[in-house]
Chain A
Amino acid sequence: QQQVKQSPQSLIVQKGGISIINCAYENTAFDYFPWYQQFPGKGPALLIAIRPDVSEKKEGRFTISFNKSAKQFSLHIMDSQPGDSATYFCAAHRGNGNQFYFGTGTSLTVIP
């Protein structure tokens, strides 16, 4: 079964707008929640990550909001740029076995 649920499947945003991608999980054993960015023909690359003892983490234009009680976390991309157009994956890490589980991905298109 899908360990991490991600929405929306695709997102179109105007340049300068805010892109928001949401993820949810059930397993309370998860201890680390990274977001990955993937450009066509490339492997996914770590964008930003958060641990469950923190409710928000910001790095430049990228922010993760984390709601432990709701078991939800989201990625906000402020001032979205055409260069941000990519596929974004949320993920959850389980320490037992050092396993990473990925969401189904969101294809983001930023229109100039």
Chain B
Amino acid sequence: DTAVSQTPKYLVTQMGNDKSIKCEQNLGHDTMYWYKQDSKKFLKIMFSYNNKELIINETVPNRFSPKSPDKAHLNLHINSLELGDSAVYFCASSRTGEKLFFGSGTQLSVL
């Protein structure tokens, strides 16, 4: 079983559309994250969600919003997509103070 799974793997969409990426972890971890990796491979934290506490990177546009229906899921909703949103988005999870597990990524292409 995949520890951190995210869907879809590829997402191609037009500017202005709204899209969602889903993430699930089966590790019993208490914190989940969304990272953005740009074309230069920089890994930038977007959000973390720990026991209903949401920590937001202040540089993330408010068009991005995380939604956590339960501890095992953290979905990413993106409104009014822009060209600059094209990147690979990684979901990750960890138990507090322990190693971070990443999903396999979602390649988002905004046309």
Contact = CB atoms under 8 A, between A and B. Distances in A.
A36 B92 CA distance: 13
Interface stretch (A13-21, A38-46, A67-75): A38-46
A107 to B, nearest CB: 7
A28 interface: no
A31 interface: yes
A98 B97 contact: yes
A93 B104 contact: no
B103 A32 contact: no
A75 B26 CA distance: 30
Give the contact-size bracket for chain B. Answer: 20 to 34
Contacts of A98: 30-31, 48, 50, 94, 96-97
B43 A46 contact: no
Given A98-B48, A98-B94, A100-B33, A105 B42 contact: yes
Given A31-B97, A32-B97, A105-B43, A99 B102 contact: no
Contacts, number: 64
A52 interface: no
A82 interface: no
A97 B43 contact: no
B99 A34 contact: yes
How many A residues touch the partner, as a band? 20 to 34
B34 interface: no
A94 to B, nearest CB: 10
Interface of B: 4, 30-31, 33, 35, 40-45, 48, 50, 53, 55, 90, 92, 94, 96-97, 99-105
25 contacts: A34-B99, A34-B100, A36-B102, A43-B92, A43-B104, A44-B43, A45-B102, A46-B99, A46-B101, A49-B99, A87-B41, A89-B43, A93-B97, A95-B96, A97-B48, A97-B50, A97-B53, A97-B55, A98-B50, A98-B96, A98-B97, A99-B48, A99-B55, A100-B92, A100-B100
